[in-house]
Structure 1
């Protein structure tokens, strides 16, 4: 619902506050930012709206750590669903975004969202730029122009960030600094007794390749046999590891596979230690587990291009490489703070 205006009269955000309008807070932080930062942004936006005359809390706080177009659309859909659920005659609402970049970093998408809000009779307010959009006030022409310019600038900035990120990623990979989700060591599935005691899942699969190829060993029964009450090992994963080990053997022979399996043995040995824990699974990784991931991820993704991290290591994986830093699993575990980037 918009305030009735004419060509000579414009509406202000303060007037909407006095007229009983309520606002929806749109908060976005990237997935690399901490939850604490999101909370700070929420408080900053609410405090700012209070200074403008909005005494009540927002009727909806759409606050998310989002990354990517799909996650952004889902957040906008939540807002749209809330608006549509509000009876049209009572729809005295404003969507408030902290800045244009947090509203949208795609010009076309941003304008589409704004138009959708306009059709629903909802104002859009960009806090830091002090831009009130939608409605029929005389100020809308200039505000709209500024908004579209800021959207274009935001998109250009995003493109530059993407290019810089890709360039930085390429340079980091040359040094062995890879990103990616840690591969599961399946430490919970390592037997503590019996003939398979102490053997990693990958080693047990490698030792069974002959039977798997001859089909004297079946995938599903073997996957079930590898599982236990702590963790289920799925047939699809068995096939993937089988194929991976066969590829390594085809390129580097049995000796290379033994090296690769020895690296996994070293990872599991560290993960079993008190204060380390697995690099995957529920819960936050310990600093020691994160450091181990940092020094092993390049080799595990490219075992032919990077030194083995159990015995040789890559000193460049340390945040400040020094002669004392070897970049091995043991050194990273023992000196984890020297292998972790400083908190943002």
Structure 2
């Protein structure tokens, strides 16, 4: 026999509207009554009807997520953390993987999420036209990449400050030939590589170190790309004694290339990454830690807050903490190597 919301209300001694508010996490119900209703509902085996809740609230109980690369560690980790928050609140996720210019253009032309989602989490940086298209949906919008933008709650980090701390660490160790593995060719409008490169150049200039373009290589933000980029840097007439990789995955590739060239880390070459990937501690990688999981969870939480309090002013930009973690891949330059 199917248990209805009326059965729960009768057993708990409250109205059906009180049961609805309590089980949906809506205000107007005391913690004590909410706990009592949850207990009764569990004992009776009551499961709320998604269609009935949607009709009553006007919601779809679905969050749209748009991403450029769901297979990349950063995007996958953010998505996983956000989905857990949405799922715990009773929401489904509708994912759009916009990994090519064609699929991206088609998405923003058609906007298939219209009237299908209650909010949108963007893991890509929209241009002005794309941002305007998302705002036209008239639903809460959040992002975990890029800087502040109109109509969005952006949860992110200070990429310039994080990269500067990594390069400054190498300078303070005494390195003067400092290379960088970047990802300038990565997703359209993605500002992260630009901000981290600017920090690299700024720190070199502050230290009085002349920038050598031959000490930069594009690693495409992948392990394989990092390995190829490190190989290019080692082929320079005066290779670097230290390398800043803009992501831990590229740093891992760099370490693999150094190992294949029979070079020791950090004795011959120091390497510092960015992210604090889940494997960074395992391989002893010095890196700039950013709370990737925390960014996804916080963005999801703020979207749900906006749905529950639509009249409240949402935060425009939330900056998460970063920190340099010193491990085994960085040390002062060897007196035998180029300075």
- Answer whether TM exceeds 0.5 for this pair: no
Could you say which structure has the larger radius of gyration?
1
Q: TM-score range by the shorter chain?
A: under 0.3
Between Structure 1 and Structure 2, the one with more helix by share is 1
TM-score (normalised: structure 2): 0.26
TM-score (normalised: structure 1): 0.26
